[in-house]
Amino acid sequence: MRVGGRLDNSEFLYNKKHPCLLQSTHQFTKLLFYFEHKRLMHAGPQLLLASIRESYWPIGGRNLAKACYHKCVLCRRMKGKVVAPIMGNLPQERLRPGYPFESTGVDYAGPILCASRQGRGCRLVKVYIAIFICFTTKAIHLELVGDLTSKSYLLALHRFIARRGKPVDIFSDNGTSFVGAYNELSKFLKSTSSSLSEDAAKDGIRFHFIPAYTPHFGGLWEAGVKSTKYHLNRVLGNCNLTFEELYTALTKIEAVLNSRPLTPLSSDPADYSPLTPGHFLVGRPLTFLKQPDFSDYSANRLSRFQRIEQLRQHFWHRWSKEYVAELQLRTKWRSSKDALRVNTLVVIKEDNLPPLKWSLGRIVAVYPGKDGIARVADIKTSTGVVRRAFNRICPLPVSSD
């Protein structure tokens, strides 16, 4: 069967004027499209369909051309489209009322050029900013460090603990400084565990590391890095400050960031002033003990110390009513488009390599979260088993036939 059409009076070839009708679901039509796709050096759907229509007229050919293009392993590998699971639920540490910096995220920003001394002949050296951010209040603490070694990170951590209190959980990426500090603290705790009392051993800090190449797992501290750089670039400009001057500028930036409102502002003058991270950073010593709930007590029945504690608890009640409701909405990744399963053939996306040099592997294990959706997988490659998040995994369309 051929197409009748209106091209009888043209000078085209007979197959062009009256192409053969083909059914797009037939195996011959699929083989024809695959052959033409490879002959045209992996052409796109539009060029592929135009070449087929020189001699054939496939019914539903546009959808078949798109399917042929998307199922090509080489084309899929060059395009590198990753799987996007639905945005995960907030971790428990972000919804647990308590003292600021109980659960803390850590990251580095920089490098920043710093003058070794004032006057002429000064030498410019690289320094970095260690950013500590509270999971519940978004309060930020900035420390200036000289290098990216574990020793410098431990010193910055000690300064942070001395001024903000000891955290219970510290979350960070898999940077060498953070992993090295974790290993040194582990060795210290193991070597001195016999001399420490049982109560002191229970007060250790728990370190948590996100998977490699997954900055969106640490979006809270990445946002803190962005905000810090925003103010720092506008303050510094092209000038190079000394270490003390730069540290002073960072403390002022820290005060500005901790004065940002956590909730949308209200136009009603009778409403409370906006809740900020600074509300949670004052009014308690570092070894403050837990107090009973004074929120239902009358103010004239409380002592001054209990009145201050009642004000602090009032901030937390406002936090649970006003701020937590803003965290309910998923701003992106609102639905899961696909899911990776065990034994799926994939390539691992690398930023500094072209697509044809990405590592080929097969998924051997997936790790679903509390919501039942997997976002991290173990992949067996030629060099061993690596763990990557789904934003680095590109599945290949390898069918059973």
pLDDT at 73: 82
Our measurement of the distance from residue 283's CA atom to the centroid of its chain's CA atoms, rounded to an integer in Å, reads 33
Query: Is residue 71 predicted with pLDDT exceeding 70?
Result: yes
Per the model's pLDDT, the better-predicted residue between 400 and 158 turns out to be 158
Kindly give the pairing relationship between strand 345-348 and strand 393-395: antiparallel
* Range with the largest mean pLDDT of 265-269, 316-320, 339-343, 383-387: 383-387
Mean pLDDT of the chain: 77
What local confidence, expressed as pLDDT, does residue 267 receive? 64
pLDDT band at 273 (very low <50, low <70, confident <90, very high): low
- Predicted local distance difference test score (pLDDT) of residue 196: 39
The phi and psi torsions of 17 (rounded to 5 degrees) equal: -75, -35
Q: In this model, does residue 246 exceed pLDDT 80?
A: yes
The predicted structure's pLDDT at residue 132: 92
pLDDT, tens digit, 9 for 90 and up, residues 80-95: 777 777 777 778 888 7
Question: Dihedrals φ, ψ of 171, to 5°?
Answer: -110, 140
Note the pLDDT tens digit of each residue in 131-189. 899 988 888 999 988 887 778 888 888 888 888 888 888 888 776 666 776 676 666 55
State yes or no: pLDDT of 195 exceeds 80: no
- Residue 401 pLDDT grade (very low, low, confident, very high; cuts 50, 70, 90): very low
Pairing of strands 169-172, 206-209: parallel
pLDDT at 293: 61
The pTM of the full predicted model, rounded to 2 decimals, is: 0.61
The yes-or-no verdict on residue 398 having pLDDT over 60 is yes
Lowest mean pLDDT among 29-38, 132-141, 309-318, 355-364: 309-318
pLDDT of residue 220 exceeding 70, the answer is yes
pLDDT at position 272: 61
| DSSP letter for each residue of 311-380 | HHHHHHHHIIIIIHHHTSS--S--S------TT-EEEE--TTS-GGGSEEEEEEEEEE-TTS-EEEEEEE
For residue range 277-324, what is the model confidence (pLDDT) as tens digits? 877 776 443 334 445 565 566 666 666 556 656 666 666 677 666 666
Mean pLDDT value of segment 9-35: 81
Query: Which residue, chain included where needed, has tokens 């990251």?
Result: 107
**pLDDT per residue over 99-121, tens digit each?**
888 888 888 887 888 887 766 66
Write out the two tokens for 14.
Answer: 């007979």
Confidence check: pLDDT of 34 > 70: yes
Instruction: Kindly report the number of other CB atoms within 10 A of residue 279's CB atom.
Output: 23
The answer to whether the beta carbons of residues 242 and 114 sit under 8 Å apart is: yes
